[in-house]
Structure 1
Amino acid sequence: MNCTLQFDGRVPSDLVAADFDSPNKFFSEKFVLGQGLKFDQALRVLPVAGGSLFDIDVDAQPVEVLISDNSIFNGQVGFRRAELIPASNDGTDPSTQGVKTLHFSVKKDAERPLNLSHEYQLVFLESNDFSTNQFVLKTGTILGQNTADPDTLQVFGNVNQGQLLFSTPFVDGVFHNFALKLDFDQSTTQVFFSAGEDPLKAVTGVLENDLSGQGQFHFGVLKKPVGGQGDITKNGFQEAGINEGIILGGIFEEDSAVGCITLAGKKA
């Protein structure tokens, strides 16, 4: 069964990084970037042959989101961040209504490793009033927690409750594929996961999770400081010489109102 797509962020093989600096049907050309930067400075497009589970179906190329010392967005000097937001996702659009399944894959770049003494947000939904994140994929040393192994991918529910929904080791050299079934009517979340080219499998049941507030999906790197106090967007330590990145692929959202969820690539 082919599920109806709400948005498709899989990047065609003929696009280059500079194309994201102009209006396009995939991602916002405005957000989220450091002041004065362009996406051709914060993105790398990678060969189609290295695509994730759902990239190979459509001959799409994975992209890498990069951060540097200059990745300071909107005066948030405590953070270093660069993220992609789907072009059609304006904060009140249907992507955060009904029952939807959000797909994405993440992979390390051995040449641009993260500093796991920091907390990173890689994928999240930020509510339209900016008051919460309804879910977050994190890695690194989570602030306010005793992180047993920072080299772990952790899916949290609404940050106001802080519930850990699922975690898995962040293995080198392989894509980690996620699908989140988001029921915005019932405020529940279910996590599906696989590694490499394996089909997705449910790794949680249907979990209560406050999804109210609509908002925008972010895909990329948000690096939090260490040693911050109070409003950590404005203070805390970030080392100099940052050259870090996360490889993303297979970004799309489908309508699951009638139970449709894509679990395997057509070419698998």
Structure 2
Amino acid sequence: MGLRSTYASLLAMASAAAAQNCPLAFDGRVPAGSTPAFFDTDASPFSTGYVKGANVNFSQLVELPTVPPSLFDAADNSLAVEVTIDDKSIFTPTPDNVQVGFRRAELQIDSNNGTDASTTGIKTLHFSVRKDPARPLNTSHEYQLVFLEDASYSTNQFVLKTGTIDGQPAGQNPDLLVLVANVNVKPIVNLFNTTFTENVWHNFGLTLDFTANTTTVLYSTDSTPLSLVNGPVANDVSGQGQFHFGVLKKPTGSNLTDVTKQGFQPAGIDEGVVYGAIFMEDSTGGCVSLGPDGSKNTTSTPPATYQPNVGTPATTYRPSATTPPTNNDNNGDDDPEC
């Protein structure tokens, strides 16, 4: 039975079964009633210190836009958050490491310190992304929107990219969302891509098996439940590290030897990307949420879930510690992997 037909059968079984709540590893959903000032406080699920320009608070970088709720925001009335960059978005992790080649601002889960449990076992990372037509990206540049930087700052173990992306085919549409595997692997392995359609939520669920070194990709748009699109695929996620959610804009230019400090960035920018329902489930027992059922549940993710069959062949969605492998942004980050 093919991947899609097998998955469809399992999904039908899951829909008919009793709802299962998946335990949370972390929850970055923004509570209803929040303001940008929330992101400067200890109440925020995100770090207040990283990643942003010097002498700037996150309340100056985030917006809470009026948009339809993303797939997993609706049930809890949690809010979308937009991360923006401008000319001041120059990250300075140390006085002698001023990243003038980048413009970047990224949210990081406060509990995700680089060696915590969110990068062990089997976890499913959920997030949604959406364009802001009022703050368009410049697709002549490459952008990183979501990534897992390893604890040694030597690679990104998966990256969601858009724009003119190094290592992609010449002439590729720059208006794509491209999910790539560990960037230290050459040639680059694409896990999934789709057109970055405007006025649409793009929902992702990434099941990361940190023991077997595999990645499974689920995707949907707007309020449609997640569906399997790829995996499990061998991908080295063994380096632990930290998850980044935001806008990292790379420079343009030829023969650059250090993209963190070289290349061209235009002046007068005002760009942003909208994020919804950032959270992570512990999928050790096979629990992966595909979509909410409309109920409010503040202690775990909304029910509609997929319970894998442990006897299912590896071409179907079966997080398993026995699947064969194919390797504190707080923050000395030189981003050599970029």
TM-score (norm 2): 0.77
**Match among 153, 165, 175 for residue 151 of structure 1:** 175
The answer for the alignment partner of 1:131 in structure 2 is 154
CA distance change for structure 1 residues 187 and 147 in 2, over 3 Å: closer, same or farther? farther
The answer for the alignment partner of 2:37 in structure 1 is 18
The answer for the alignment partner of 1:189 in structure 2 is 215
| Structure 1 residue 50 displacement after superposition | 2.1
Give the 3-state SS of the residue equivalent to 1:251 in structure 2.
Answer: strand
CA contact (8 A) 1:25 1:88 kept: no
1:254 to 2:281 alignment: yes
Give the 3-state SS of the residue equivalent to 2:37 in structure 1.
Answer: helix
Summarize the alignment of residues 1-268 of structure 1 with structure 2, pairs less than 5 Å apart. Answer: 1-47=20-66, 50-74=68-92, 75-145=98-168, 146-161=170-185, 162-227=188-253, 229-267=256-294
CA contact (8 A) 2:38 2:44 kept: no
Any runs of at least 4 consecutive aligned residues in structure 1 with deviations exceeding 4 A, and if so which? Answer: none
| Structure 1 residue 265 displacement after superposition | 1.5
Give the 3-state SS of the residue equivalent to 2:198 in structure 1.
Answer: coil
Root-mean-square deviation over aligned CA pairs: 1.2
Give the 3-state SS of the residue equivalent to 2:125 in structure 1.
Answer: strand
| Structure 1 residue 148 displacement after superposition | 1.0
Superimposed CA distance per residue, residues 84-111 of structure 1 (whole angstroms, 9 cap, x where no aligned partner): 0011101100000000000000000000
Alpha-carbon distance between aligned partners in 1 of 2:157 and 2:252, rounded to the nearest angstrom? 23
Alpha-carbon distance between aligned partners in 2 of 1:233 and 1:205, rounded to the nearest angstrom? 32
CA contact (8 A) 1:100 1:181 kept: yes
| Counterpart AA for 2:197 | V
CA distance change for structure 1 residues 39 and 176 in 2, over 3 Å: closer, same or farther? same
Q: What runs of 5+ residues in structure 2 fail to find an aligned partner?
A: 1-19, 93-97, 295-303, 305-338
Q: What runs of 5+ residues in structure 1 fail to find an aligned partner?
A: none
| Structure 1 residue 38 displacement after superposition | 0.7
Alpha-carbon distance between aligned partners in 1 of 2:171 and 2:37, rounded to the nearest angstrom? 38
CA contact (8 A) 2:146 2:159 kept: yes
Alpha-carbon distance between aligned partners in 2 of 1:33 and 1:15, rounded to the nearest angstrom? 20
Using the aligned pairs only, state the percent identity.
55
Alpha-carbon distance between aligned partners in 1 of 2:65 and 2:193, rounded to the nearest angstrom? 27
| Structure 1 residue 40 displacement after superposition | 1.1
Give the 3-state SS of the residue equivalent to 1:203 in structure 2.
Answer: strand
Give the 3-state SS of the residue equivalent to 2:75 in structure 1.
Answer: helix
| Counterpart AA for 1:60 | S
| Structure 1 residue 205 displacement after superposition | 2.1
Between Structure 1 and Structure 2, which shows a larger proportion of strand residues? Answer: 1
Structure number with greater Rg is 2
